[in-house]
Structure 1
C-alpha cells in the first residue's frame, strides 16, 4: 500500500482534544510521556534551534519550548496546529514559538538544508509513511545541521501485539488467519490485507527495521529506547500502581531505566531512536 497523507490528516483533524489528553489521562500514557520527556531533556540544549514535526496538540511542545533557544512547530493536520497554538496561548508560551507550519514530512521545502540543530519527530509520524519511509528519513536529515540530533519515535509492533493480543485474535475472525499472519510478519496494517473499519493504515515497526532504515544514511545511532514497557502489566495493575504516589514514582524511574536495556527494546509500545547526522 502506498503512502496516502489524507489518512493521517483526516484521522488527526478529527481527533479533537484526545491528542492533548492521551499522555496524562492514564498510566500507559504517562509512561510514554515520561520516557520521551527524559530523552528530550537529555539531548536538547539551551542554545539549540529545534524543529518539532508531527507536533500534534502540543503535549511536548510546551516542554521543548522551555529547553531550546528557538522552536519551530509543524504538523500535517491543520486542526492539531490550531489546537497547539491555542494551548500555547493558554500557557503563555505562544510568543516563544518562532513559527507554525502545516506540512507533510516528505516535503519540508519551506526549510533550507541544515536549518536545525535538533529535529524531533515522535509519536509515530514514520509509521504512516509506508513505502515512503526512506524518503521521510532523508527529508528529516536534510533539514538537520551536520552533527545535529534527530529524535525519532515509532509505534512498536511487538509491544503493541502483546498488549492488543485479544484484539488481534478478534480480528482474525473478521479477516482470517492469513491476514493475521500478514500483520504478525510485517507489522503492516493495510487496506489489502487488514482492512480495519477505522482505516488506520500504518506500519508498526521492529527495531531491526529502524536499524535498516538508518543504515542507509550517514548517521551515528546514539541511543535506542523502548517506551511504555510497564504497559504490559495491564491497565488495572497500572491504575492501582498510579494510585500509590510513592510506588508510582518508583515505577516511572524504573520504566526510564529499563527501557534502555537491549532486551526490552521491542517490548514497549513505542520505539525511540536518537541519531547524530554525520
Structure 2
C-alpha cells in the first residue's frame, strides 16, 4: 500500500482535543510523556533552532519552546495546528514560536537545507509513510545541519501487539487468520489485508526495522529507547499505582531507566531514536 497523506490528515483533523489530553488522562499516557520529555530535555540545547514535525496539539511544543532558542511547529493537520496555536496562546507561549505551518514531512520545501540544529519527529509520523519512509527521513536530514540532532519516534509493533492482543484476536475473527499472520509478520495494517473501519493504515515498527531504515544514512545513533514499558502491566495496575504518589514517582523513574535497556527496546508502546547527522 502506498502512502496516502489524507489518512493521517483526516484522522487528526477529526481527533478533537484527544491529542492534547491523551498524555495526561491516564498512566499509559503519562509514562509516554515522561520518557519523551526526558529525552527532549537532554538533547535540545538553549541555543538551538528546532523544527517540531507532527507537533499535533502541542503537548510537547509547550516544553520544547522553553528548551530552545527558536521553534518552528509543523503538522499535516490544519485542525491540530489551530488547536496548538490556541493552547500556546492560553499558556502565554504563542509569541515565543517563530512559525506554525501546515505541511507534510515529505514536502518541507519552505525550509532551506541545513536550517535547523534539531528536528523532533516523535509519535507516529513515520508509521504513516509506508513506502515513503526513506523519503521522510531524507527530508528531515536535508533540513538538519551537519552535527545536528534528529529525535524520531515510532509506534512499536511488538509493544502494541502485547497491549492490544485481545483486540488482535477479535480482528482475526473479522479478517481471518491469514490477515492476522500478515500483521504479525510485517507490522503493517493496510487496506488489502486489514481493512479496519477506522482506515488506520500504518506500519508499526520493530527496532530492527528502524536500524535498517537508518543504516544507509550519514548518521550516528546516539540513543535508542522504548516508551510506555510499564503499560504492559495493564490499565488497572497502572491506575492503582498512580493512586500511591511515592510509588508512582518511583515507577516513572524506573520507566525512564528501564526503557534504555537493550532488552526492552521493542516492549514499550513507542520506540525513540536519537540520531546525529554526520
Query: Which residue matches 1:239?
Result: 239
Query: Which residue matches 1:187?
Result: 187
Deviations 1:216-236, CA, capped at 9 Å, x for gaps: 100000000000000000000
Query: Which residue matches 1:213?
Result: 213
SS in 2 for 1:250: helix
**1:197 pairs with 2:197:** yes
| Matching of residues 5-44 of structure 1 within 5 Å | 5-44=5-44
> In the comparison of the two structures, how many residue pairs are matched?
278
Query: Which residue matches 1:251?
Result: 251
**1:77 pairs with 2:77:** yes
SS in 1 for 2:114: coil
What is the TM-score with the length of structure 2 in the denominator?
A: 1.00
| Matching of residues 37-116 of structure 1 within 5 Å | 37-116=37-116
1: distance between equivalents of 2:243 and 2:100? Answer: 38
Which residues of structure 2 form unaligned runs of 5+? none
2: distance between equivalents of 1:198 and 1:101? Answer: 26
SS in 2 for 1:208: helix
Aligned CA-pair RMSD: 0.3
2: distance between equivalents of 1:195 and 1:96? Answer: 43
Which residues of structure 1 form unaligned runs of 5+? none
The structural deviation recorded for 1:177 is 0.3
Deviations 1:111-162, CA, capped at 9 Å, x for gaps: 0000000000001100000000000000000000000000001000000000
